Every structure is written in C-alpha cells, then in structure tokens.
C-alpha cells in the first residue's frame, strides 16, 4: 500500500485530489493534514469519513512535533503540499501569515521529510520517497500580449502571495540541490471547479448572480488568465508524483486563456438561462478600482509535462464552466453554509469527542 501525506486536503484543490485518488486507486492510504483555516471545510470530505484509506489530522504544517510524529507513524512514500494561503487580496492587506504558512510551513515539511528519509552518513535517501510542491504560475510575474511561461522563465513575483510561493519553490529546489532530496514542483494556472471558496472569481460571481448582487470587476476586466479545470490539475499531480523526474518543475496549464470580463459575462449568460431569470444580466457588473500590482496576463506552456508524462487538459473551458455552475446550483446548502461561516462548526461537532 502506498501512503501519501497530503496537506491542505480540506481546501479546494486538495479536496478534489483526495476524491480523485480514492476513486482511482484501492491500494493507497492518504493522511490528510489540514489546519482548517477559513478556506478549509471538513464537510467537503464528509462522504469519505468512514473510508479507512483516508485519515484526517487537524493541525498546522508549521508544527514541527506534529509533522515529525506523522512521518514516524505513517512513513509516507509521498508528501504533496497543497497547504497555502492563496488569496492575493488577503496577502496585500496582511502578508505576514503568507510568509508563515507558505514559506516556513514548506521549510518545516522539507526538514521533517529530510529527517525521516535521509541517511546523512551514507548521503542516501530511502528509495521510493518524494516531496511534491504544488505552486502557481503567479511566481513568474506577468506576460505581455504574446508568449507563455515555461519552466525556465525567471521568477518575478509581484504580490506578497506570489512572493511567498516563489520563496517556497526556492527552498524546495535548494533541498534538492543541497541534499539530493527527490522533489518535484508543479506550477499551475488558475483553477476552477467544485468546492472552491467563494472569495475567488468564479464561485463569487456564481453566488452573486444567483442573489442579484453586484458583480465586482477589477479595472477594465481585461486581465487574462489561463483557466484549468481542477480535475485535470489533480490528474497531472498524480502523474508528476508517480512518474515525474526528480528535481524537475512541471507547468500545468489549461490552454484556456480568457479575460476576466469574459468569464463574468459567460457566468451571467449561463445563470440567466439555467434559472430562467431575466434580472440576471450585465447590468449587475460593477467596475471597481484595480487591485494593487495586478498582473495583466498569465499563460502556461504545458508542453514539457505532455512530452514527459503524456498529460494534457481534457476539459475545455466551455464544458468545465457548465459543470462548475451546475455543481454550485446543485449544492446551494454548501454555498450558504460557507458564506455564513456555519461550516467552521462542523469539525467541533464531528471530532470534539473523538
């Protein structure tokens, strides 16, 4: 049985990854370490509470004793680090927690993995072990109207969030270069899909249109992002974990470049048609002052992961956005509980006596 220590599995991408892996493999165990901050929702994993292959641990990746204990108890084959503070606006107003979680937390995971997996006397690593850092294309900075980010594009982060992720990536690379730690770094474009916390663009717009609330759009809305359906991303991470060449970086992109205003107008159209509601229209759009340091365009070149591992995005944006909207409409109670904060009481109800 292959054992994974996966951090941040109560969040958006981590939740999807756990479901993806447990549905795909029978001979695995996933130890899920999550601090359950505002964006972590244990209810996302309610359907696998009784699955013996999934072990939930409430804790912080910065906790040295906790991580060391998990390494000793479960001896994971792979560590996959999803845990991160990830909202750019929050990083602008309060950058310190981004340094603590994204940088210091990553360093702690790396150090505890090294303590468990590395024989300093022989300078050898236990066979079959690997650390995978889930990063972001934002570490590259901004692109002009043409070209794409490749794995050799210099890092040039522009927000406290992306700076913290770039710093973490440098530490991962340093552990590989200094100690020979088997690692991979993945850098993905903007994810969308089910379970995403409604501070992010797509779920925010879905929720606001449904409730006839204003749709805030930064600046002129012409910022371009490469949108990646979250299940495609999880499939890529699985491939990188099992077959990626140690020490390599892999860009994961959706080949779905769209402007923010296009995304908003698409959601308006889809929601109006699905709900048969003429009041959902473009009059809800409100252009607001642009975000500080807002990068104009991101675009990923995923040719390396396709050539090395055979991965490619299977979900076109036109299909993925429909699946996403349908999920949120079918899970209105989930959205209501998340936006009201009720979901944060779930852990106490379910686990306080365990």
CATH (domain of 123): 3.40.50.720
pLDDT at 254 over 90: no
Whether this prediction's pTM lies above 0.75 is answered by yes
Q: What is the pLDDT of residues 258-311, one digit of tens each?
A: 999 999 999 999 999 999 999 999 999 999 988 888 889 999 999 999 999 999
In a domain, 168, yes or no: yes
Please, which pLDDT band fits residue 38 given cuts at 50, 70 and 90? confident
Active site residue 138: yes
Catalytic residue among 4, 131, 140, 161: 161
**Residue 39 lies in domain:** 2-193+227-253+298-315+345-351
212/277 Cα distance (integer angstroms):
10
Catalytic residue among 34, 137, 169, 257: 137
Give SS3 for 108. helix
In a domain, 327, yes or no: no
Q: What is the pLDDT of residues 156-211, one digit of tens each?
A: 999 999 999 999 999 999 999 999 999 999 999 999 999 998 888 999 999 999 99
Token couple for 115: 């303590």
Say which DSSP state 104 is in.
Answer: I
Please, which pLDDT band fits residue 231 given cuts at 50, 70 and 90? very high
In a domain, 170, yes or no: yes
In a domain, 330, yes or no: no
Please, which pLDDT band fits residue 243 given cuts at 50, 70 and 90? very high
Please, which pLDDT band fits residue 354 given cuts at 50, 70 and 90? very low
pLDDT at 347 over 60: no
Predicted local distance difference test score (pLDDT) of residue 260: 96
Place of tokens 């923010």: 260
In a domain, 156, yes or no: yes
In a domain, 281, yes or no: no
Active site residue 226: no
Q: Alpha-carbon torsion 68, 70, 73, 77, what sign?
A: negative
Predicted local distance difference test score (pLDDT) of residue 349: 62
pLDDT at 237 over 90: yes
- Could you give the angle at which helices 317-330 and 332-340 cross, rounded to 10 degrees? 80
Q: How many domains does the chain have?
A: 1
Mean pLDDT, all residues of the chain: 93
For the chain, the distance separating the N- and C-terminal CA atoms, rounded to the nearest angstrom, is 26
In a domain, 293, yes or no: no
Q: What is the pLDDT of residues 62-108, one digit of tens each?
A: 999 999 999 999 999 999 999 998 878 889 989 999 999 999 999 99
Q: What is the pLDDT of residues 118-146, one digit of tens each?
A: 999 999 999 999 999 999 999 999 888 88
Catalytic residue among 138, 169, 232, 238: 138
Q: How many CB atoms lie within 10 A of CB 220?
A: 11
pLDDT at 343 over 80: no
pLDDT at 59 over 50: yes
In a domain, 101, yes or no: yes
Q: What percent of the chain has pLDDT over 70?
A: 97
pLDDT at 240 over 50: yes
């Amino acid at each position: 049985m292959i054992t994974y220590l996966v951090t941040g599995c109560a969040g958006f991408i981590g939740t999807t990854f756990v479901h993806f892996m447990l549905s795909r493999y029978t001979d695995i165990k996933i130890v899920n370490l999550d601090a359950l901050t505002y964006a972590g929702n244990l209810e996302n994993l309610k359907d696998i509470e009784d699955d013996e292959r999934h072990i939930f641990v409430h804790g912080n990746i910065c906790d040295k004793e906790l991580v060391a204990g998990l390494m000793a108890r479960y001896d994971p084959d792979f560590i996959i680090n999803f845990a991160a503070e990830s909202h750019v606006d929050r990083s602008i107003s309060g950058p310190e927690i981004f340094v603590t979680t994204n940088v210091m937390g990553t360093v702690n995971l790396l150090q505890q993995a090294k303590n468990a997996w590395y024989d300093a006397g022989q300078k050898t690593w236990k066979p079959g072990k690997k650390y995978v850092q889930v990063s972001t294309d934002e570490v590259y900075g901004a692109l002009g109207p043409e070209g794409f980010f490749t794995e050799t594009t210099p890092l040039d982060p522009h927000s406290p969030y992306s700076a913290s992720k770039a710093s973490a990536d440098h530490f991962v690379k340093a552990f590989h270069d200094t100690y020979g730690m088997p690692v991979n770094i993945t850098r993905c474009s903007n994810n969308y899909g089910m379970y995403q916390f409604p501070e992010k663009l797509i779920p925010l717009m879905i929720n606001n249109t449904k409730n006839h609330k204003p749709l805030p759009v930064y600046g002129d809305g012409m910022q371009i992002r490469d949108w990646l359906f979250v299940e495609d991303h999880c499939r890529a991470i699985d491939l990188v974990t099992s077959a990626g060449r140690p020490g390599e970086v892999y860009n994961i992109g959706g080949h779905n470049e769209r402007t923010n205003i296009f995304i908003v107008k698409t959601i308006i159209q889809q929601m109006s048609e699905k709900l048969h509601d003429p009041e959902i229209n473009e009059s809800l759009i409100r252009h607001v002052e642009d975000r500080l340091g807002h990068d104009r365009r991101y675009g990923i070149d995923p040719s390396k992961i396709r050539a090395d591992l055979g991965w490619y995005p299977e979900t076109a944006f036109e299909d993925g956005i429909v699946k996403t909207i349908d999920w949120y409409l079918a899970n209105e109670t989930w959205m209501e509980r998340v936006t009201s904060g009720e979901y944060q009481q779930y852990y106490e109800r379910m686990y306080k006596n365990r």
